[in-house]
Amino acid sequence: MNTVIYQIKDTIEDAKSLTEAGRIIREGGLVAFPTETVYGLGGDALSPASSRKIYAAKGRPSDNPLIVHIANTEDLEPITADIPEAGRKLADAFWPGPLTMIFRKSEKVPKETTGGLDTVAVRMPSDPVALAFIREAGGYVAAPSANLSGKPSPTSAKYVIQDMDGRIEMILDGGDVEIGLESTIVDLTEETPTILRPGYVTKEMLEQVLGTVDADRTMMEKDTGVAPKAPGMKYRHYAPKGDLVIVEGDSACVVDYINEQTGLLEKQGEKVAVIGTEETKMLYHAEIVKSVGSRNREETIAHTLYRVLREFDDMDVTRIFSESFDTTGMGQAIMNRLLKAAGHKVIHLCRSTNSD
């Protein structure tokens, strides 16, 4: 298949391209598009055939449900069986934006889209290109992240092209995304709203609106023996080609350990890379050292993490050492993704008593 790639700089100037993209969706084809979180791989959410195509293009198991993207709050009602009060409050507070909510679905949504579930995940993104495209497409666009299954989600069109060229009809290139990690997912079908996937909208932010919010206990842990409520969270996601390990402890211990290990491995001929921060990158001796951002500005780390993992893949890195991050605020989303990418391999080093 020939994949058409359009650069979208402005929703008005590029209106014709967006109309063409919308037509592809309405005719049953697939279009990758930018959102503020990561790029999505879109198809008609109300068409079973389109959803099947999405699974095929991604190489994704079809028991892993898709998020339905809408462009107007009023479009929520027809696809849900009921909208709890908490859903209305969260929509008011965070839509359009990086929050996905799970509702009981209406008949309108085919089981192919929801991976066989009676519930549906819905999100209204804030990216103006995404909103214009969804409207042109008829209002309901099912979209997982636009990566091949098992790869880090794409944060720029370059990586969508790498994974999807020849597999879908069109890619809308809207430049680099703003956030860089997937949306927060909250399940509203339980008595207490429950976070299934952490993201830019933190537990604290949700609690300010709703009071008590739970978090799925499988979110940060390995092998709890309990199945995660978001089926997608059980797969080893976001995996770089190189073997990734997280090193946790006092900064000085972490730097010493990583320098020792990378020195040894480089001698053995391995291609070794380090994920550091603005505060530490100059302390590492490995040949490849990348900063993911500043510890004082967690949003910079969220923004850069997937890109760095992809760059290591491009360089055929075989071993990766990463620093660890606090799990407060957005740090929870960052560590959730990093732990998955590392298959939960963490090395715990010394902690001096006066450290926090």
Binding site for ligand TXA (CB under 6 A): 35, 37-38, 40, 64-67, 100, 102, 114, 117, 119-121, 123, 143-145, 182-183, 185, 196, 229-233
CB contact at 8 A, 271 and 318 = yes
Select the residue whose beta carbon is closest to Mg ion and give its number: 145
CB contact at 8 A, 50 and 102 = no
Ramachandran sector of residue 162 (left: φ over 0; alpha: ψ -120 to 50; beta: rest): alpha
What whole-number distance in Å separates Cα of residue 121 and Cα of residue 108? 14
The residue among 53 and 229 lying less far from ligand TXA, judged by its C-beta, is: 229
The residue among 97 and 249 lying less far from Mg ion, judged by its C-beta, is: 97
Query: C-beta of 162: minimal distance to ligand TXA in Å?
Result: 17
With CB under 5 to 8 Å by kind, the binding choice for 29 among ligand TXA, Mg ion, none is: none
**Rg of the chain over all Cα atoms, to the nearest angstrom:** 20
- Annotate 119-158 with DSSP letters as a single string: EEEEE----HHHHHHHHHTTS-EE--BSS-TTSPPPSSHH
Query: C-beta of 145: minimal distance to ligand TXA in Å?
Result: 4
Query: C-beta of 334: minimal distance to ligand TXA in Å?
Result: 15
The residue among 37 and 277 lying less far from ligand TXA, judged by its C-beta, is: 37
The residue among 64 and 251 lying less far from ligand TXA, judged by its C-beta, is: 64
Number of residues that bind Mg ion (CB under 5 A): 1
Q: Which two tokens stand for residue 7?
A: 């650069």
Ramachandran sector of residue 238 (left: φ over 0; alpha: ψ -120 to 50; beta: rest): left
The residue among 122 and 258 lying less far from ligand TXA, judged by its C-beta, is: 122
The residue among 35 and 202 lying less far from ligand TXA, judged by its C-beta, is: 35
CB contact at 8 A, 321 and 272 = yes
Q: How many CA atoms lie within 13 A of 253 on its CB side?
A: 12
With CB under 5 to 8 Å by kind, the binding choice for 154 among ligand TXA, Mg ion, none is: none
Query: C-beta of 188: minimal distance to ligand TXA in Å?
Result: 10
Q: How far is residue 262 CA from its own chain's centroid? A: 29
With CB under 5 to 8 Å by kind, the binding choice for 303 among Mg ion, ligand TXA, none is: none
Find the binder of Mg ion among 51, 114, 145, 304 (CB under 5 A): 145
Bond preceding residue 96 cis, omega within 30 of 0: yes
What whole-number distance in Å separates Cα of residue 244 and Cα of residue 246? 7
Q: Which two tokens stand for residue 180?
A: 């860089």
With CB under 5 to 8 Å by kind, the binding choice for 123 among Mg ion, ligand TXA, none is: ligand TXA
Among 124-132, 142-150, 198-206, 307-315, the segment contacting Mg ion (CB under 5 A): 142-150
Residues near Mg ion (CB under 5 A) are 145
